[in-house]
Structure 1
Amino acid sequence: MHLLREGQFSVAATFLSEMAEKKAAEKKQANTANATENAASILDIDEVPSGEVRKQFATMYYILHEMKENNNLLPAIQWARDNDEALASRGSNLEFELCRLQFVWLFHGAHEQQGPTPAGRQAALEYARREFHGFLPRYLREVQQLMGAMAFSPNLQDSPYRSIFNNPSAWSDVAHSFTREFCSLLGLSADSPLYIAATAGAIALPTLLKLQTIMKAKRTEWTTENELPVEIPLPPSYLFHSIFVCPVSKEQTTDENPPMMMPCGHVIAEESLKRLCKGSRFKCPYCPSESHPREARKVFL
């Protein structure tokens, strides 16, 4: 799956082929010809469950190639229109981002790339008349900015619209938005889980090695299962869900030890709750309120 997500389709096909050959060898089939035939039948990546995923990613990489190498936004715009209902349900503005960049590209002279020539401005104006009417209810202000820039075309550098028409990262930004939305419709994250796990591990490794040295010097051991001994600061983009640390035990809650909210509104871990109450009414460790353990409610983050 990682190879498919990275566009390495031939490598993925070779990987599946070698897997098939290994499985055939493990079965120790008497007829070598049949074993080779069975391995070859699985060589075609379309025959495995990931075949449809491969086709989807092949489409994505084709559109990205057209976008990055040929400055061709039309395949991406068409894909956004074919999936407009799904994108709208997500509140996505991908189609407008693509059409706005297409307008800017035409405004700057498109293929000629020699500045805002009259032909380029005329082509951009015709494109806006043809395509932007559907965006007016939601993006009226943005469309007005694009039209207003026409009056400043001789001196865009000093105009209020400089950031729109002179944005060096515009193409990479819209490519990233497209990748994110494409993967989201497949139910996948924009980044490969293997890449995320490896990167997070690389970030955590120096801290864990330092901790190992300290624990060896103090002759102590790490005894907590399914939990890191220290907090690892990861980038905000790597924080995928809420985390609750019990203020009493100082341990992170889990599915087996979920956070529990008492009637007073304070939240502690279930194991801490059981230790405090001992089956009867108990006082909240953070306020004077008393409650019974059966009154506590499980918190879902």
Structure 2
Amino acid sequence: MVIDPPVAAAEGGASEASSNNNGHGEGQTKKKKTPVTEILKLELQLLRVPVEHLKKSLRSSQRTAEKDLSAVLADISSVTASPTAAAVPPVSSLTSLVCRLHGIKRKLEESSSAEAGQVQRCRARIEHLEEFVPHPHCECNSNWNNTRLNRVILDYMLRMSYYDSATLLADSANIQELVDIDVFVEAREVVESLQNKKVAPALTWCAENKSRLKKTKSKLEFLLRLQEFIEMVKANDYLRAIAYARKYLAPWGPTYTKELQRVTATLAFKSGTNCSTYKVLFDECRWDFLVEEFKQEFCKLFGMTLVPLLQIYLQAGLSALKTPSCPQGMCPKEDPLSQAGFMRLAEPLPFSKQHHSKLVCFITKELMDTENPPLVLPNGYVYSTKALEEMAKNNDGKITCPRTGYECNFSDLVKAFIS
């Protein structure tokens, strides 16, 4: 039975579709998201990081050049205004100015060279993405997928501060222009200083990126100032702590009133206090918290994901495997969720939507189950174990896909699991 829509609505919809789409009705259907679109969404970080790094370098070089040129112009004005009253002869002043201008030129050339390298990195990454073939089972994507796997592993290494191992992997895989080792090396000094209980490099980093941190409403600088204040209190240097609070913490009062009141109250307590409200402020683990907070702000600044790409990919796969029986330890040994590490990753994930499926082999027309499990060919097609074993037996271990003609060895097959 067909239910006719109201005439007015139908006519209005028809006229609108006709006017917008020239009678073809193209606007009535939404564009479907292809697998390629979803894959490239995960590659946003690949392009955004070098762009953000380039923008940061441009801003830094511009500020430096403007500052140096302003100083030179001021000196030129003073020399030209009263050359006879100058403390040094005019020729010496001009020679000094020329040397300073040469220095500015050298700095600009160095900045230009560095920026050209960053532009080349952006170009290399665009070319890398263009190499991807939009077909889910295309064999020519194997090298591209291997490169992506290396990038994902390297991203995890850098986030975990394994800089030397990351450099070795980048060199061996020849993917230096596709990874951001230099960006993470910039953060290395800050991370190591915080691990050594020093906030000065982190505060310098905050000052360099003050405008952008302000846009994201970051409280990293405030937390660093609080920690420096707490360290003074722990050292019983109360007068210095009070002076520090007046100078650096008071401006944050309107924004973080409660936190500020709580921290300044530590002046009335010793570092060994048993009061839980203030004892936690003296805890050494606050330095680890600051390290993680800095890493989060650093990733936001450069447009990176807040968690490693490796974790995102693993959780995407685990979400398809997690069932109500997994937390009860009923997973088979072959299931990744039988391992404690993978199970911890899957804890925040919802259960996958599972149906009892009946898989029928294309070759033998028999059911594929635990006794006759499905095997996956490298091209993505699935057949039963019995059928493929029989085929391999008759063809010296060779397997030929009956639907595509693809050939491979029996050892190339991968076992699939039915849930």
Alignment of 1:147 with 2:274, yes or no, is no
Shift of 1:164: 4.9
What letter matches 1:87 in structure 2? L
Q: What residue identity is the alignment partner of 1:153?
A: F
1:122 to partner: Cα distance:
2.3
For 2:186, the equivalent position in structure 1 comes to 59
User: Is residue 84 of structure 1 aligned with residue 200 of structure 2?
Assistant: no
CA distance in 1: counterparts of 2:188 and 2:269, whole angstroms = 34
Q: Deviations over 1:52-74 (max 9, x none)?
A: x22221122221111113x1011
Secondary structure class of the residue paired with 1:138: coil
| Equivalent residues in 2 for 1:68-79, closer than 5 Å | 68-69=195-196, 71-79=197-205
Q: Residue in 1 aligned with 2:379?
A: none
Q: Could you tell me whether the CA contact under 8 Å between 2:232 and 2:241 is conserved in 1?
A: yes
Equivalent residues of 2:230, 2:282 under 8 A apart = no
| 1:171 paired residue among 287, 293, 318 | 287
Letter in 1 for 2:189: Y
What is residue 347 of structure 2 aligned with on the other side?
A: 235
Residue by residue over 1:148-199, the C-alpha shift from the partner in whole angstroms, topping out at 9 and shown as x without a partner, is 332x235872558524533342111121111111112121123321144346
1:7–1:58 contact (8 Å) kept in structure 2:
no
Q: Is 1:129 matched with 2:246?
A: yes
Letter in 2 for 1:136: G
SS in 2 for 1:137: coil
The structure-2 alpha-carbon separation of the partners of 1:161 and 1:195, relative to structure 1 and needing over 3 Å to count, comes to: closer
Q: Aligned partner of 2:346: which letter?
A: L
Relative to structure 1, is the Cα distance of residues 102 and 19 closer, same or farther in structure 2, using a 3 angstrom cutoff? same
Partner of 2:171: 17
On the 8 A contact 2:315/2:346 being kept in 1, the answer is no
Q: Percent identity, aligned pairs only?
A: 19
* Correspondence for 1:264: none
**Structure 1: unaligned runs, 5 residues or longer:** 21-41, 110-116, 214-231, 250-301
C-alpha spacing 1:160/1:212, structure 2 compared with 1 (3 Å):
closer
Q: What is the Cα deviation at residue 94 of structure 1? A: 1.5
Give the counterpart letter for 2:300 in structure 1.
S
Q: Indicate how the Cα distance of structure 1 residues 155 and 195 shifts in structure 2: closer, same or farther if over 3 A, else same.
A: closer
**Contact preservation (8 Å) 1:156, 1:162:** no
How far apart are 1:104 and its partner, in Å? 0.5
- Shift in alpha-carbon separation, 1:55–1:210, aligned structure 2, 3 A: same
- TM-score, length-scaled by structure 1: 0.51
**Stretch deviating more after TM superposition (98-107 or 78-87):** 78-87
1:125, CA displacement in angstroms? 1.8
Q: Give 1:10's aligned amino acid.
A: D
Q: Deviations over 1:69-127 (max 9, x none)?
A: 3x101111222232233223333222111111111112111xxxxxxx3xx22222222
Structure with more relative contact order (C-alpha pairs < 8 Å, separation 6 or more) = 2
Match of 1:107 in 2: 233
1:40-59 equivalences in 2 (<5 Å): 45=176, 48-50=177-179, 53-59=180-186
Deviation readout 1:206-235 (Å, 9 max, x if unpaired): 84995779xxxxxxxxxxxxxxxxxx9933
Could you tell me which residue of structure 1 aligns to residue 96 of structure 2? none
Larger Rg: 2
* TM-score where L is the length of structure 2: 0.38
Q: State the superposition RMSD in angstroms.
A: 4.2
Q: Which residue of 2 aligns with 1:270?
A: none
**Pair 1:101–1:200, CA change in 2 (3 A):** farther
Kindly report which structure 2 residues correspond to 1:177-188, keeping only aligned pairs within 5 A, or say none: 177-188=293-304
Q: Which residue identity is paired with 2:299? A: C
Q: Secondary structure at the match of 1:157?
A: coil
1:212–1:144 distance in 2 versus 1, CA, 3 Å: closer
Q: In 1, Cα distance between the equivalents of 2:315 and 2:171?
A: 28
